[in-house]
Structure 1
């Protein structure tokens, strides 16, 4: 869901409240609360596509709009994986660049990055005979910070100064759990792998970028360990833990400093200096 949120906030420039409402509407359409049905991948994919199109229509955005489209210029990138190579991330860009020329519609991009095999059917994008099949995110890009920094270095050059690198987590967990009755062991293992993947990258970056003021990681560190994947309807609990985290002195001061750096747009480090840490 993080890639969906990134598109809604960044590329579509939706307000935070709009994003929350849109996200809940999409999740509700795909996984109706209280409905006990056998998992149907094709139906989930169809419901996801329809929900995304409904969101775009409500926002006044043409359904045929591409990621890289002159009608909505921006500088954003999201990552997906093809079934042919799960370890190599494919980048859907909103700007021109060397490399892949794939330019899906926003709906296709969202569905492709969310197409985890345990929940959705693979998403095919491209002209006949050359279409590629996408199955969610590539290994190592559930936390895409490293890939984003590499992309920025390629686009802007190693001498470009960085005002702020902001990494936002979904809550630190001890062991991410799901109700056995609601899902399969395969989904449990996949979800645990994703959580481990995100935290592994976060710890690595925090260690290597220690002392670099341009980097900040925000991730609720208490209370989220008891939240299950099928507890998405209980946003009040998540909101309470998030508020407590944001009100802590250290985090509040870090956010204030981050806001100042973003407003001043004065970089404290270059992309080259940051990239040397990898």
Structure 2
């Protein structure tokens, strides 16, 4: 079948380097031809299973904003244009947007005062900042979702409709609900990811996933946290916090320790700098 191409290797032996298809074989390879024109799916093409969407919608109705009487909309259909979508009436966006333009989407909704509850990649949740972070809450759920295109993505959420100044909230109850629904449908198993060890005053979405998995609730007010991309001790090593994170006040650091004990393992331990300790003192002075 086909034409075998051979050549001498460095030992003077003959070896096959490739097999060239005949014209007949190329013509008959219909599947290979069709596959060339199929769109390549990315995390922007993750379509939410309905049973997962229903669980999240119920949770939002109970914990974020009552949805009765609201027009719950999903602008991010394949080939859709979210900017020209009909947002008239008392609408609320609850959908899984393209992750690559999540910050752009949030800026658009902030500019037009549109309420939203958006899916976001759990491990890089804090790296999707928009221009206006007022009234924005990051919901750490670390829900393992197998989307309709087969992609398995740890998923958390971002909303602009939780009252008050809550910046981050860890919701193990949402993780549990999605897991229970997914286990019934998919029989998913838990996979543990490697982690660095950070001081108790530092959180990232990846670190908080462990708390969510333990069915624990942890609230982090905006006045007791400050956004950071890396610790000063990491910068010298040209490292950063994966997905970025927040510095916490003394009170919240103690709550985090009570909620989560990282697994003992050989890890790189990042230390707080004098500058970062000063920030923590400032944050702790305004509980």
TM-score under structure 1 length normalisation: 0.28
**Structure showing greater Rg:** 2
Greater length-normalized contact order (CA 8 Å, ≥ 6 residues apart)? 1
TM-score under structure 2 length normalisation: 0.28
